[in-house]
Structure 1
């Protein structure tokens, strides 16, 4: 009897847990997902505290220490006793027989390594002036010796410092681009699913019966402000279309002559006159779902890589700052890449809007916006969480590929892809004699793998069909 009561209490306790509590329990049972989460936490903390972790600023270079190997850390004295870790001064010479660079240690003077020391000044989070560093010593700022934990690059810059500074770009760009793509995909996908099969007015002429009918309906529903907002959006959209057509026609008029000029004038002028006539006397109804879905199909037909290369070339011709150019290109790619997510959200909304709770909210007089935001979109949250964790690695790889090809972040800024391009420029020598140049590729591999582990764990944990 006691065992039966125990089992009943356990069963009731398990049944009383919420969905998110059960999801957390299932996630904790996924060891690879936990490992991926801890690895990502470590990487993001390293990127956040890069100024504190790095012994040198991002652009600090040593002209005579190009391609220096990792600095040896000594823990024992000459007689074998343990001591405080220290480094020795390294000098670069060239072998006159092989003409190769040779780095030799001079331990006649030892430079001890201290922790939590004062060093180069920086601004934590770009706001708080600080000069505290994780390790180093007075000899770092006085430049009596160098400490390159992971070697140096072709400009004599500390690769350890630049990897952590580069993590800020490589790790955060995926989050920002994914969030932007999610916002666009959820917004347009939700609209397409909610208004599927329900044509809406794209144009209500001021002197058309539909205008008066819409105004009276808005007064009956108690939402005249909504009618005013849609009317304002209509005027802004079609007014912008008229402006674009007028500017295009004016430019074509200047660069063309003869029959081409008159053909363009007839086509462009006719389009402008039709829009003006429709805004005054006409009416146009469109299926919002059909418009959005056809737009996603057009975007899907655009080759992303070629578009990216073309945009990067255009931005470079405008002489914009490298960082601004990079983020602008990523933003444009986010606008192009939301189509697949929008199609999935549309299909989910089509299913959720027919559920009893959504139908009940509509019957009780809830507005379409409230039904969509409060009752339909929350049903897609678990899917969006998984999509976000699986989409971020794609943007990280995209940034790395761009910078590797010279189309993303440019010197003196750093990212993992840009740092990895140094190894590619060195060719086979990077593997034989300078393997430390491949470390940025290792960080790219680890971050992508960690995100995939985390995404797989979240997908299993948030699956509502999973067994308790």
Structure 2
């Protein structure tokens, strides 16, 4: 059969195609990077697109780094008292004095006692210009109880004052005490979530993998604990701690209490995940190869949803920080000489003191910022760990 002269011959071989078939399998560098990326790298790319979570993560990282050098960051030592400046209001930072640039400085106070209401009244005196010193020698402290030092990033002027957030009833600088208190309030959340993770993974893992009577009993225990009001239960357990305990034992006791009451939600999450994963082929393969149950759970099953556990734990940390703050505020948590944000807020229990000296409420600001930052950070981690987003 002969084709017409104007007919187009169809290609019979690959070489007759009008394009290079290998071009179908040529990827751009971005596509190659996407196909070859690990799970952690994919999570990081997704996490970076969540701007509030990224900013919150940077804020929390800087905050936790700051607790390593609290003594250096604080203008005063933790227990430094200024008897002549009790309940002094915050001092404002200025740059210009009488039209001339001086640099960062504060005005000193003139003090008088109002005999009508016995209130201490402070007024800034423009003649007392007190320049702020940087990278200077100030109050003596023991750095992590290892050696004595005097180096501070910010110091008051010689024979001057620097109370950027005011002082308390003993004349102690509120800003310095907030910086020191961050060390306790932030670490108690990490230690508490460590206890919660261990209990949640172990109990939830055994209930999800083995099932049976243990799963039934563990679920009933979880339901009982979750049905109890959190704050009264915290108060009851915290009241059990002996008064004769040293502050460090009270600190660890509060940490254990917070961890013991927060593992239930995590255990349920682990159980539900293991129920879905224990029937997978790779679990059956591990059983055939002779792997014991603990290895299957902790080596093969738990890593499969470790990213979800991290996101859940991140969201649970602010709950523990609020728990410690609540207990310390009510006088049943940490006690002096340990300093935390909750201990600082306990001085603001008296409404009259708050009305007269509102700067005593400054410690509530870092609590709010940290809780919000952890919530944003946890939301970003959860979205990044979700394979369907």
- Cα offset, 1:389, TM superposition: 0.7
Question: In structure 2, which of residues 46, 50, 66 is the aligned counterpart of residue 30 of structure 1?
Answer: 50
Q: Where does 1:322-341 land on structure 2 (aligned, <5 Å)?
A: 322-341=247-266
1:309 corresponds in structure 2 to: 235
- 1:274 aligned residue: none
1:180 aligns with 2:195: yes
How many angstroms apart in 2 are the aligned matches of 1:100 and 1:330?
40
- Stretches of structure 1 that go unaligned for 5 or more consecutive residues are 198-286
Distance in 1, Cα, partners of 2:92 & 2:157:
18
Q: Does residue 1:374 correspond to 2:374, yes or no?
A: no
Measure, in 1, the Cα distance between the counterparts of 2:327 and 2:379: 27
Shift of 1:106: 4.4
Matched, 1:357 2:282: yes
Task: Please give the residue correspondences for 1:186-201 in structure 2 after superposition, counting only pairs within 5 Å.
Answer: 186-197=201-212
Correspondences of 1:32-47 after superposition (within 5 Å): 32-47=52-67
Question: 1:119·1:138 contact (CA, 8 Å) conserved in 2?
Answer: no
Contact 1:323 1:409 in 2 (8 A): no
1:127 is aligned, of 123, 146, 153, to 146
> Quick one: higher RCO (CA 8 Å, sep 6+), 1 or 2?
1
- Offset of 1:336 from its aligned partner? 3.4
- In structure 2, the partner of 1:417 is 342
Match of 2:354 among 430, 434, 437: 430
Q: CA shift at 1:131, angstroms?
A: 1.9
CA displacement, residues 326-381 of structure 1 (integer Å, 9 cap, x when unaligned): 43133134223322221221121122121111111111122222212211111120
| C-alpha distance in 2 between matches for 1:105 and 1:8 | 66
Deviation at 1:128, TM superposition (A): 4.3
Query: Residue 384 of structure 1 corresponds to which residue in structure 2?
Result: 309
Deviations, residues 142-186 of structure 1 (Å, cap 9, x unaligned): xx2221011111221100100111111111111110111111110
The Cα offsets for residues 160-216 of structure 1, whole Å up to 9 and x where unpaired, read as 10011111111111111011111111011112222224xxxxxxxxxxxxxxxxxxx
* Kept after mapping to 1: 8 A contact 2:80/2:172: yes
Correspondence for 1:281: none
Note the C-alpha offset of 1:9.
5.2
Q: Which residue of 2 aligns with 1:115?
A: 134
Residue 288 to residue 168, structure 1, CA distance change in 2 (3 Å): same
User: Partner residue of 2:34?
Assistant: 14
Partners of 2:225 and 2:333 in 1: CA distance: 22
Q: How far apart are 1:101 and its partner, in Å?
A: 2.2
CA contact (8 A) 2:354 2:360 kept: yes
Q: 1:4 to 1:438 in 2, by over 3 A?
A: farther
* 8 Å CA contact 2:196, 2:262 repeated in 1: yes
Matching residue of 1:51:
71
Whole-angstrom CA distance in 2 between matches of 1:346 and 1:109 = 66
1:77 and 1:344 map into 2 onto residues whose CA distance is 61
Task: Point out the more displaced range, 303-312 or 20-29.
Answer: 303-312
Query: Are the structure 2 counterparts of residues 306 and 137 from structure 1 closer, same or farther at C-alpha, using a change threshold of 3 Å?
Result: closer
- Provide the C-alpha distance between the structure 1 equivalents of 2:351 and 2:337, rounded to a whole number of angstroms: 19
TM (norm. structure 2) is 0.86
Give the secondary-structure state (helix, strand or coil) at the position aligned to 1:118.
strand
Post-superposition Cα deviations, 1:268-298, rounded to whole Å, max 9, x if no partner, equal: xxxxxxxxxxxxxxxxxxx333343333334
Q: Residues 381-403 of structure 1: CA distance to partner in whole angstroms, max 9, x if unpaired?
A: 01111111100010011111111
Larger deviation: 14-23 or 93-102? 93-102
Could you tell me which runs of 5 or more consecutive residues in structure 2 were left unpaired when the two chains were aligned.
1-18
1:217 alignment counterpart: none
The SS at the match of 2:151 is strand
Distance 1:110 1:301, change over 3 A: closer
Distance 2:94 2:45 in 1: 46
From 221, 224, 228, give the equivalent of 1:295: 221
Q: CA deviation at 1:88?
A: 4.2
Distance in 2 between the 1:98 and 1:292 partners? 60
- Aligned equivalent of 1:451: 374
Q: Superposed, which structure 2 residues align to 1:250-329 within 5 Å? A: 287-316=213-242, 318-329=243-254
Q: What SS does the aligned partner of 2:163 have?
A: coil
Q: Is the 8 A contact 2:130 2:161 kept in 1?
A: no
1:116-145 Cα offsets, whole Å, 9 max, x none, are 111223233333433210111572xxxx22
